[in-house]
Every structure is written in structure tokens, then in C-alpha cells.
Amino acid sequence: MSTTALRQQAIYSDIRGDMAPNPATDDLLLLSNEDAVKESIKGLLSTNKYERIWNKRIGSNIRALLFENDTPLTQYALREAILETIDNYEPRAIILDVTIIPSPDENAYYAQITFSLKNKEDPIELSVILNRVR
């Protein structure tokens, strides 16, 4: 079997973040392919470093940047933190673009992340709201 055929067969799956059970079987519901990677990216971006006991290096320090003044430098730092986090901890995703859109009235930023999966070339869009939580 060629490597191209093997790459197309690759299927990614993860357990849903809300641990929702299947109503018929009571098994945990699974996310697959792009939905699994999207959920993983959201989880990584909402996790601070040292927050996960079993691996303290996983995560980002994006929350600290959300309390900075809204400047182009802050937007750049957010973009770089997102790129670094996904690049380091989500090997299934190839980042194509990250756009940061400030929303000062909501004390938040919107991150538009465009990526593709390792086994697919189609771009996938993910919108994440980064807001201040105390």
C-alpha cells in the first residue's frame, strides 16, 4: 500500500470535552477527524501552563495576555502564542493562518485559525473567543 493511501486512511478521534454519553449505549461520544482536532486546539488554548498535573508543560499562557492593553503588540503576542501552542502540542494540525480580531467592548479577542489536517489538504476554519475570566 502506498504512503498516500495510508495517509488518507488515517482517522483521528478523541473523547468529547463535555464527556457526554451516547443516549443509546451510555458509552462516551467520540469526535473524529477535524472535529477532534478543533476540540483539542480549543482545549490547548484554554489551558495555562502548569495547570495539567500530569504534564505541566502543555498549554499556553494566553490568559495572561488577555489582561494587557489592546495594542498591536498584544495582538501579535496572542497570535504568536497560538501558533507556538498548536505547533508544539497538536501534531495533527498544519497551521495556515491565525488572525486576531479585538473586541474591546466585550473585553475579548476573536481568533480565526485556519489549518489543515496532516492527512488532508482542505483548509479548516476555527473561531475561538478569548475572553478574560477571573
Nearest to 63 by CA among 46, 76, 77, 79: 46
Q: What is the DSSP letter of 105?
A: G
Reduced to 3 states (helix: H, G, I; strand: E, B; else coil), residue 71 is: coil
**What does pLDDT average to in each consecutive run of 10 residues of the chain (134 residues)?**
48 64 68 77 85 77 87 94 93 93 90 90 91 74
Q: Where are the domains of the chain?
A: 3-131
Architecture of domain 3-131: Roll (3.10)
Give me the pLDDT at residue 2, please.
Answer: 47
Cα–Cα distances (Å) from 26 to 12, 18, 29, in that order, read 22, 14, 9
* pTM reported for the whole predicted model: 0.78
